[in-house]
């Protein structure tokens, strides 16, 4: 139905409005992207592509977070440089975890609210939820890798 496109929908509860966008992201994939955004009045969602992920240099202060479950990572692999915080742990990791515990548990410093953060998952749905969670906490520079692991694995060759 939407082959090669992303159906993007946002319901903004503060404005009681709903909007949708269809974004072309490839020839053979279909993604449905829904976000509930209750804190911000913008329906704009920051997204990144395979090319954006590929350009990240290790010395950059970008935190790439894979929100899939650890078993999924073992079965498929990971995007190089990413850390794993399963979706169910995201809120606690960002609100109740000290900087020292975050570093010890996830292997990277806990991002500040202005630091660049990119969430990924298998196809972009769970990472969109994680993006919304941390944006609602006041993090300002949060993006979602729409294609997620499926896109990375397809294009990494």
With tokens 């509860």, the residue in question is 13
Query: What digits encode the pLDDT tens for the residues 16-37?
Result: 333 444 444 444 333 444 444 4
Say if residues 130 and 136 touch (Cβ distance below 8 Å). Answer: no
Pairing relationship of beta strands 17-24 and 5-12 according to DSSP bridges: antiparallel
Domain ranges, ordered by start, for the chain: 44-155
Candidates 10, 35, 79, 121; catalytic one: 121
Give me the count of residues in the chain. 157
Residues 6+ apart with CB under 8 A from 154: 147
- pLDDT of 48-103, one tens digit each? 999 999 999 888 889 999 999 999 999 999 999 999 999 999 999 999 999 999 99
96 is catalytic: no
Q: Which residue has the higher pLDDT, 146 or 41?
A: 146
Rounded to 5°, the CA angle 88-156-143 comes to 40
Q: Please state which CATH number belongs to domain 44-155.
A: 3.40.250.10
Does the reported pTM lie above 0.75?
no
Q: Residue with structure tokens 């990240």? A: 56
């Amino acid at each position: 139905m939407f082959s090669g496109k992303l159906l993007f929908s946002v319901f903004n509860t503060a404005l009681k409005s709903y909007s949708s966008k269809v974004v072309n992201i490839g020839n053979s994939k279909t993604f449905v992207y829904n976000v509930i955004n209750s804190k911000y009045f913008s329906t704009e969602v920051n997204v990144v592509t395979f090319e954006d992920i590929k350009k990240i240099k290790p010395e950059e202060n970008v935190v790439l977070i894979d929100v899939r479950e650890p078993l999924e990572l073992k079965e498929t692999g990971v995007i190089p440089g990413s850390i794993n915080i399963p979706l169910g742990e995201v809120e606690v990791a960002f609100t109740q975890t000290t900087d020292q515990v975050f570093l010890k548990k996830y292997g990277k410093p806990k991002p500040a609210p202005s630091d660049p953060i990119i969430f990924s998952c298998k196809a972009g749905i769970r990472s969109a939820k994680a993006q919304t969670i941390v944006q609602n906490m006041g993090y300002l520079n949060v993006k979602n890798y729409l294609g997620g692991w499926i896109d990375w694995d397809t294009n990494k060759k």
